[in-house]
Amino acid sequence: MYMAELELILAAPRGYCAGVDRAVETVEQALKLQGAPVYVRKQIVHNLHVVADLETRGAIFVDDVNEVPEGATVVFSAHGVAPTVHEGAAERALDVIDATCPLVTKVHNEAKRYDQRGYQMLLIGHADHEEVVGTMGEAPGAMTLVENAADVRTLPDYPVDTPLAYLTQTTLSVDETSGIIAALKQRYPWIESPDKGDICYATSNRQAAVKELARVTELVLVIGSANSSNSCRLVEVARDAGVDSYLIEDESEIDPTWIGNRTKIGITSGASAPERLVLGVIEWFRTRSDGITISELETVHEDVSFHLPRPIRRALALVDTPSAD
């Protein structure tokens, strides 16, 4: 199918966030510093291309620390782990490099603080997502998962003097989460929460950007993997804003029938999708149309970066004091 001249509009910000950038570079540096293989617990970030690329360079992805040879190096993914995973790694004398995003660590710390003060916690998030599993592991006896507003009705009738707080997964839909929070506040008016919300800057910025993109385009393609929470949320936000939207792993998944007579195509990418995949999609359109114009719709400028984990910085001589990090 050959297409007329197309206007491609790219959302900005899109793609890699600071936490993903840090996690991927952590594995790359570990491979450079120690040589292959480097074991990684779970997908370092939720993107098949990133994982496949690191595999070809010597990373071995495992589901459990028990699969890592005793004494070997293991990198923990950006999504964070429960304390029991750290304990399992210590039992096998593994050399741990923890690439948990600092913004996920912040939620773990909030959970620990509330737990120490005897709070019951309601965690808004998606069951079985690695981040949720890790966060719940901080206080398994004191945390209940809330996946949607309907779940709020099924929660216990906590007495009004029950210390109660809510936390959230970092990569949720901003709009949907505010509805769940409103339902929680209606049911438990005394419920507390951390001063700053837990949905991270990258998630909210990419959702705000795709909302604007949906206003000026006829179709929005979101590049990301199906298990990437923030990528799936971008599709939902675009659809809620009134345009057709599809999640694609890369250009090979574009169905030409989606385009039809449309000439204004929006493109964005989830926080774990590398920019080269965006370039692949642009090229796909370039070779199948009478021509393309490319512009960028920037809604906010991002300038966030995180230090690499301390073991990597120490090895690179970027820090000189040992630490338990």
Regarding 19 and contact with ligand SF4 (CB under 6 A), the answer is: yes
**Nearest CB to ligand SF4, comparing residues 282 and 304:** 304
> What is the Rg, in whole angstroms, of the alpha carbon atoms belonging to the chain?
21
**Nearest CB to ligand SF4, comparing residues 45 and 183:** 45
CB of 14 to ligand SF4, least distance (A): 12
Kindly write out the interface string for residues 214-233 of this chain, putting x where it contacts ligand SF4 by CB under 6 A and - elsewhere: ----------------x---
Kindly write out the interface string for residues 270-299 of this chain, putting x where it contacts ligand SF4 by CB under 6 A and - elsewhere: -x----------------------------
Regarding 100 and contact with ligand SF4 (CB under 6 A), the answer is: no
Q: What are phi and psi of 71, to 5 degrees?
A: 80, -5
Stretch that binds ligand SF4, among 100-108, 158-166, 174-182, 220-228 (CB under 6 A): 100-108
Three-class secondary structure assignment of the chain = CCECCEEEEEEECCCCCHHHHHHHHHHHHHHHHHCCCEEEECCCCCCHHHHHHHHHCCEEEECCHHHCCCCCEEEECCCCCCHHHHHHHHHCCCEEEECCCHHHHHHHHHHHHHHHCCCEEEEECCCCCHHHHHHHCCCCCCEEEECCHHHHHCCCCCCCCCCEEEEECCCCCHHHHHHHHHHHHHHCCCCECCCCCCCCHHHHHHHHHHHHHHHHCCEEEEECCCCCHHHHHHHHHHHHCCCEEEEECCHHHCCHHHHCCCCEEEEEECCCCCHHHHHHHHHHHHCCECCEEEEEEECCCCCCCCCCCHHHHHHCCCCCCCCCC
CB of 200 to ligand SF4, least distance (A): 3
Residue 130 appears among annotated catalytic residues:
no
Regarding 75 and contact with ligand SF4 (CB under 6 A), the answer is: no
Q: How many residues bind ligand SF4, per CB under 6 A?
A: 15
Q: Which of 130, 131, 138, 212 is catalytic?
A: 131
Regarding 78 and contact with ligand SF4 (CB under 6 A), the answer is: yes
Regarding 18 and contact with ligand SF4 (CB under 6 A), the answer is: yes
| Binding positions for ligand SF4, 108-167, rule CB under 6 A | none
Kindly write out the interface string for residues 20-59 of this chain, putting x where it contacts ligand SF4 by CB under 6 A and - elsewhere: x---------------------------------------
**Nearest CB to ligand SF4, comparing residues 70 and 195:** 195
Regarding 103 and contact with ligand SF4 (CB under 6 A), the answer is: yes
Q: What is the dihedral of CA 35, 37, 41, 47, to 10 degrees?
A: 80
Regarding 171 and contact with ligand SF4 (CB under 6 A), the answer is: yes
CB atoms within 10 A of CB 141: 6
Nearest position to ligand SF4, beta carbon? 19
CB 191 within 8 A of CB 185: yes
Regarding 169 and contact with ligand SF4 (CB under 6 A), the answer is: no
CB of 66 to ligand SF4, least distance (A): 26
Contacting residues toward ligand SF4, per CB under 6 A? 17-20, 78, 101, 103-104, 170-171, 200, 202-203, 230, 271
Enumerate the active-site residues: 131
